[in-house]
Structure 1
Amino acid sequence: MDKSLSGRAAIAGLGATEFSKNSGRTELRLAMEATLAALQDAGIDPSEVDGFSSYSVDKVPEYEIARLLGCNNVKFFSQIPHGGGAACAPILHAAMAVATGVAKTVVVYRAMNERSWYRFGSGDYGFANTPTFENVNYGWYMPHGFHTPAAWVGMFAQRYMHTYGATSEDFGRVAVAARDFAATNPEAFFYEKPITLEDHQNSRWVCEPLHLLDCCQESDGAVAMVITSAERAKDLKQKPVVIKAGSQGIAQGQQIMTSFYRDDITGLPEMGVVAKELYAQSGLGPDAFQTAVIYDHFTPFVLTQLEEFGFAPRGEARNYVMDGHHARGGTLPINTHGGQLGEAYIHGMNGVAEAVRQVRGSAINQVDDVENVLVTAGTGVPTSGLILSAA
C-alpha cells in the first residue's frame, strides 16, 4: 500500500478578499467571503465541506464557518500555531485528511484585520498578564529591548552580516524585486509603487540593520482554498494544483523568534528540516522549480531560506540576489505577487494563493512553463513548506 502523501490531494478552489489597511468588516465576514469565493471557484456546494484547517491565531472559529456554510457533518478540523510558521501547514493537514479518507472536502483559510484591529509588531502583547511558558520566556529578552519581530530578526541579521559579509543593500535587493512585482499586480497594496535600492537605503531605520522597507506590511484581508482528492479535482472547474509535498519543521534549540542560544544563528535549521522532507517526498531538488514563494516578513530571512533549500551555498545568497536570479526575468523569480513586502501580509496564505495561480497559469506576473512551485512559511519559528505542481 502506497502511504506517500505526494500527489494524493489537490487545491481545487481559490478565493480572496481585497487587501487593505481597513477592511471595514469583521474577520468572520472576510473569512466567509474568501471561503464562498473558493468554493464557487471550485464548483463545490458549501454543504459538501467536511473539514477545516487554519491558524491558532485566527480568531474565526471553524464551527461558525461550518454553521454559516450549512455543513452537515464536519469530520476534521485543525489549527496550527506559530503565526506565519503555519502558512503552509493548513494545506498539509488538509492533504493528509483527504489522503487518509478522514475528510473529502477541506477548506483552509486565514482572515485577519491585522492593521485596523491589532498589530503584531506593536511590542505590547500583555505577556505579564498571561504567564504561560512562551510569555515567561520572552521575559528574558524584553528587558534588553527585544520587543518586536523586527528586533528579534535584527539580531539574526546582524550575525549573518558579520559572518558572511552581507550588507543592507543585499537585503534591499529582495525588497526592490518584491515591489517591482507588486507594482504590476492590481491586487497589491503597492500597485504602481515600485522602489529603487536608493529608496530602500534612505528609508528610516526600524531596528538596525532593518530599514522600514525591509519589513512586511500590516494588512486586512482573507484568503481561502479548497482541498480535495487529486482524482476528484480533475473533474472540477479549475486546473488541479497537486500537493506534491508538504512538511512542518522544528529544529534543535528552537524557540519562538528568539533562538539566540544555538551554536550558530546564521541559518534557519527548522527550514532545513522542511527542505529535506519536501525534497524526499517529491523526489525533486532545487533545479526543479520555475518560481518560488519565499516567506518575506523580513528581507534577511529570504537570503537564509534560499540557502537552506540549496539555491545558493551557505553565506552566498547575497551573490544570488546581486545577480538578479530572484527578480523579474531571473532563473527563479520569487514572490511574483509582490510578497508580504509588496502585496499584503495575510500571514503567508496569499503567498500560497500565488503559487496556485502560477501552476494554473493565471498569475498576473506569470512565469513561463511552470511545473513546480516551492512555498515556504514564516521563519524564526516552527515552520512549514509546500511543493505545488501541475497534474
Structure 2
Amino acid sequence: MKQSLSDRACLVGVGETDYVRGTDKTLAQLMIEAAIHACRNAGIEPAEIDGVISPWLTNVRCEDFVAHLGIKELKFSGRHEMGGASSIAAIQTAALAVDQGIAEYVLVATGQKGYSGVRLGAGDPSFLELNNQIMPNPDYRDNLEYPYGLMVPMQYYTLHANRWFYEYNPDPKGMQTVALTCRKHAQLNNKAYMQGRPMTEEDYQNSPVLVAPFRLLDCSLETDGAGAVIVTSARNAHRFKKPIYIGGIAEGHPQGPDDLISRQDILNMGITQAAPHAFDMAGIKHEDIDFAEIYDCFTFIVLRQLEEIGFCERGQASEFVKDGRITYGGALPINTHGGLLSQAHIVGINHVIEAIHQLRHEAGAVQVQGAQIGLVTGYGDLGDGSLAILHN
C-alpha cells in the first residue's frame, strides 16, 4: 500500500524579516531573526525547536540555530541543494521527520543577501564562484559553458524560453501580464519592497532587453531578507489556533539535471514530475485550488509552471493568464504578495509564508476571499521543482 503524508503534518508558525536593499546584518542574523518571529507566531519557545533544515546556501549551519535559539536538543538536521526549489523540498523532509516522531518541531529557514552580498546586477565577477557552489557539476560549467559566455541564470533560462516560443508561438504579452499582475499585488502589501512603485504597460515595454526574450522587468528582485516556517505533526495540531495542513507535497528533477542543453526535452522540468504526485496525495483537482504562489525568478517560468502543473496545455499559458484570471477576483489569483518579482527574492520561502497567511485569512488587503486550498511551487537550478498543496 502506498504511504501518504497527506494531512499528517502541518505548518504552525511563520516569520520574516523586513525586505530591504542594504543591510549590515549577516545572513545568519537575518535567518535567526526570521526564526524567532516564527516561534513567536506559533506561540512556542525557541528552545522547543528540535529540528532544523537550512536549505540551499551553505554558509549558515544548523549549529548556528542551536547556539542562537537556545535549542536544548537538536534531534534532526538537514539541507537541500535545489536552489529555489529547496524550501518546499525541505518542508517535505520536515514533514517526514515529524510524522515519524524523529522531531517535534522542525524549523525551515532560508534567505539571501541578494543586494548587499554577491550581486548579479552589479556585474560582480565573484558570482561565478557562487554559481559553482549553487549549480550541479561545476566542472561542466567551468569547461563547457563559461568559456562560451553562458554564465548567469537569465542566459541559461533563455535557452528554455526561446525553445518554448519556437515550438508553441505563445503570445509574448503573457510575460508582461505576469509582471504587471505581481507589481499590482505588491501595491496592496506593506511588506513588499515594490509597494509604492507601480508599473505601467509602458514601463514594462520600455525596460531594456537583457537577454532575449527577457526584459529587465521580467527578472526577480535583488533584495536582502529571510523567512522561516515551523513544521509539526498533526498530532500536535490541537496546540495551535490555526494550523495549516500539508495535503500534498512532492519534489521533482528534470532529465539530465546538470545539463540543460543536451536534454531530450528542454521543456520538461522537475515540476512536471512533482505536480501529479502532489495532486494525487492531496486527492484534489486543479479547479479546487483557490490561489497559487508560483515561483517567479522570471516571468516566463510562471507561465511554464502553470502549463507543466496542468492548469493548461503547453503553449497556452499566455492565454490562460489573460482577462484578469490571475488577479483578485479571478479564477486563480497568483503571487498575491507580489512574488519574487515585486515583494522580495528570498529563495521562495516568502511564497510559503504568504500561502499560510492566506489560509489563516489574515492577509489583510491582499486576502483571497474564502481561501481554503492553496498551491505553492519552488523552482531552482536547471529546472528542479517542488510543489505543496496546503489547506486550512
TM-score w.r.t. the length of structure 2 is: 0.93
- Paired residues in the alignment total 385
Gaps of 5+ in 1: none
The alignment status of 1:254 with 2:257, answered yes or no, reads yes
1:1-391 matches, within 5 Å, as 3-119=3-119, 122=123, 124-126=127-129, 134-138=137-141, 139-236=143-240, 238-255=241-258, 258-265=259-266, 267-364=267-364, 365-379=366-380, 380-390=382-392
Asked if 2 retains the 8 angstrom alpha-carbon contact of 1:223 and 1:346, the reply is yes
- Deviates further, 294-303 or 268-277: 268-277
Identity %: 35
Name the SS of the counterpart of 1:358 in structure 2. helix
Asked if 1 retains the 8 angstrom alpha-carbon contact of 2:171 and 2:319, the reply is no
How far did residue 263 of structure 1 move?
Answer: 2.8
Asked if 1 retains the 8 angstrom alpha-carbon contact of 2:328 and 2:368, the reply is no
Task: Describe the shift of the 1:275–1:2 C-alpha distance in structure 2 as closer, same or farther (beyond 3 A).
Answer: closer
- Deviates further, 114-123 or 202-211: 114-123
Q: What is the RMSD computed on CA atoms of the aligned residues?
A: 2.0
Q: Within 1, Cα distance between the matches of 2:160 and 2:214?
A: 11
Q: Within 1, Cα distance between the matches of 2:268 and 2:23?
A: 34
Asked if 2 retains the 8 angstrom alpha-carbon contact of 1:6 and 1:243, the reply is yes
Q: Within 2, Cα distance between the matches of 1:76 and 1:98?
A: 10
Q: Within 2, Cα distance between the matches of 1:111 and 1:348?
A: 8
Q: Within 2, Cα distance between the matches of 1:84 and 1:133?
A: 14
Asked if 2 retains the 8 angstrom alpha-carbon contact of 1:249 and 1:270, the reply is yes
Task: Describe the shift of the 1:328–1:198 C-alpha distance in structure 2 as closer, same or farther (beyond 3 A).
Answer: farther
Gaps of 5+ in 2: none
Q: Within 2, Cα distance between the matches of 1:240 and 1:110?
A: 21
Asked if 1 retains the 8 angstrom alpha-carbon contact of 2:128 and 2:151, the reply is no
Asked if 2 retains the 8 angstrom alpha-carbon contact of 1:176 and 1:196, the reply is yes
Asked if 2 retains the 8 angstrom alpha-carbon contact of 1:182 and 1:191, the reply is yes
Q: Within 2, Cα distance between the matches of 1:128 and 1:174?
A: 27
Q: Residue type matched to 2:28 in 1?
A: L
Deviations 1:129-165 (A, max 9, x none): 99x9711111312222211101111111111112211
Task: Describe the shift of the 1:47–1:302 C-alpha distance in structure 2 as closer, same or farther (beyond 3 A).
Answer: same
Moved over 4 A (4+): 120-123, 127-130
Q: Within 1, Cα distance between the matches of 2:97 and 2:59?
A: 23
Q: Within 2, Cα distance between the matches of 1:334 and 1:129?
A: 32
TM-score w.r.t. the length of structure 1 is: 0.94
Q: Residue type matched to 1:377 in 2?
A: G
Deviations 1:315-348 (A, max 9, x none): 1011011233112321000000000000000000
Name the SS of the counterpart of 1:55 in structure 2. coil
Q: Within 2, Cα distance between the matches of 1:129 and 1:301?
A: 22
Deviations 1:260-308 (A, max 9, x none): 222332x233111110110111111211100000000001111110011
Name the SS of the counterpart of 2:274 in structure 1. helix
How far did residue 112 of structure 1 move?
Answer: 2.0
Q: Residue type matched to 2:248 in 1?
A: A
Q: Residue type matched to 2:128 in 1?
A: Y
